[in-house]
Chain A
Amino acid sequence: AQKVTQAQTEISVVEKEDVTLDCVYETRDTTYYLFWYKQPPSGELVFLIRRNSFDEQNEISGRYSWNFQKSTSSFNFTITASQVVDSAVYFCALSEEDDSNYQLIWGAGTKLIIKP
């Protein structure tokens, strides 16, 4: 069965600190996709990144970076030099390749609080 675990319920850091959000997944499929979404206080879920199971290269986008490690079934998200605007709930999600698939398996989310 598929499962996504975000063990950190809430993280609070002071602005400019680096912070890493953990995501551990379970799947028996060899082809799968991992996603991160951001949900700011306004409520809209914003897509951040998709990573497929065959691409273990780390991704960097500005202050955001993602570390995908199949050996540990993890897809962690790091924010460097955090800012107050990064405060949000962050969700990790998993999907299969199959075209008939419709389900995103969601983690419970990690609430990130950036204090000024």
Chain B
Amino acid sequence: DTGVSQNPRHKITKRGQNVTFRCDPISEHNRLYWYRQTLGQGPEFLTYFQNEAQLEKSRLLSDRFSAERPKGSFSTLEIQRTEQGDSAMYLCASSLQGGRHEQYFGPGTRLTVT
């Protein structure tokens, strides 16, 4: 299967702990996106990479959030000092460069902060 994969699928953590999620995009896609989605809402853009460069970050992305894509392949999203408000589905997507190209999404990581 050459789709977008994400790990873990579910994560339960206590408030104040750090968590890290991984995304493996479709191999030929040079763009990778992170979104957050809460129940009943559409995806909220967090950040995106073109190859290894992080080109845009949403204002939603506080200093506790950091994302990397070190070799332009997989990406990690880390949340430090988690808060209950961080509980959400974190979605990763990848695409070819350009607005004309559709984004393909992974299954998401559901984070629950207790």
Chain B residues bordering chain A, tally (CB within 8 A) = 25
Interface centre among B31, B56, B105 (most CB of A within 10 A): B105
Give the A-B contact count at a CB cut-off of 8 A: 60
Q: How far is the CA of A109 from the CA of B41 in the complex (A)?
A: 8
B71 within 8 A of A: no
Bound Cα distance from A35 to B103, whole angstroms: 10
B91 on the interface (CB 8 Å rule)?
Answer: yes
Stretch with Cβ within 8 A of A (4 or more), from B11-19, B42-50, B73-81: B42-50
A-B contact pairs, 15 of them (CB 8 A): A35-B102, A37-B105, A43-B107, A44-B106, A46-B105, A50-B102, A95-B99, A99-B97, A99-B98, A101-B98, A102-B31, A102-B50, A102-B55, A102-B56, A104-B45
